[in-house]
Amino acid sequence: MKQSTPTTYPANDQVITEIKILISGPVSAGKTTAVSRVCDSEIVKTEAAYTGRCLDDDKDTTTVAMDYGLCSRFPGHRIHLYGTPGQQRFDFMWDILGKGMDGIIILINNDQPAPHETLKQFLATFSSLPTVIGVTKMDRDPEPSIGDYRKMLKKLDASHIPVFNIDSRSRRDVTLLIDNLLPSVDEQRQ
């Protein structure tokens, strides 16, 4: 298990634990948007023109390496958020970015074909990390339901993983995911 790397900030003698969280998922699940919603300042993006077939008609760019932002709104934690590219051809970045991470948020676009299968792939890739799942775009396609996802997780012996219906454009929803991930991260680091 990892040991925490607390940092003391002299101005207020508050001990802050540095946490690295990866946000991953398929194209158009809302990863870049989620990172930008909770970070303290503008995020680093590696966007390029999207040349493939896209599930979202309005998606002009895609992440090709990573997104990065810093978030200090969680008491006792300074969180480094990294977003992965969603396209399968950039999956080598998933392994690179996954090294040294403390936890993962997997975003699944419910409006895509076979979202259960996509989730299984991401769970297999990041199986060693504390995980929280956010299902996006349920307003476009309500099936599978959150209950269906929970049944699938139970069959995979992963019923301990929380799953939520979220809007990646909502700071409150992204904060909910991080709030639910932090206790598992803190427990693993002890």
Strand partners, 104: 22, 131
CATH code of the domain in which 182 resides: 3.40.50.300
Residue 1 located in a structural domain: no
**pLDDT of the chain, 190 residues: tens digit per residue:** 444 455 545 455 667 788 999 999 988 888 888 988 888 877 655 555 555 555 454 556 555 456 888 888 888 888 999 888 766 655 655 566 667 889 999 999 999 989 999 999 889 888 888 999 999 999 999 999 999 999 999 999 999 999 999 999 999 999 999 999 999 998 887 7
Residue 89 located in a structural domain: yes
Produce one character per residue of 126-157: b if its CB has 16 or more CB atoms within 10 Å, e if not.
beebbbbbbbbbbeeeeebeeeebbebbeeee
Domain count of the fold of the chain: 1
What distance in Å separates the CA atoms of residue 104 and residue 130, rounded to the nearest whole number? 6
Residue 38 located in a structural domain: yes
Question: How confident is the model at residue 64, as a pLDDT?
Answer: 47
What distance in Å separates the CA atoms of residue 24 and residue 85, rounded to the nearest whole number? 7
Question: How confident is the model at residue 153, as a pLDDT?
Answer: 96
The two tokens of residue 78 are 């300074």
Question: How confident is the model at residue 67, as a pLDDT?
Answer: 80
Question: How confident is the model at residue 126, as a pLDDT?
Answer: 81
Question: Which residue from 104, 3, 22 is spatially nearest to 63, judged by alpha carbons?
Answer: 22
Which residues form the domain of 20? 6-189
Residue 59 located in a structural domain: yes
Global pTM? Answer: 0.81
Residue 17 located in a structural domain: yes
Question: Which residue from 63, 163, 178 is spatially nearest to 108, judged by alpha carbons?
Answer: 163
Residue 39 located in a structural domain: yes
Residue 118 located in a structural domain: yes
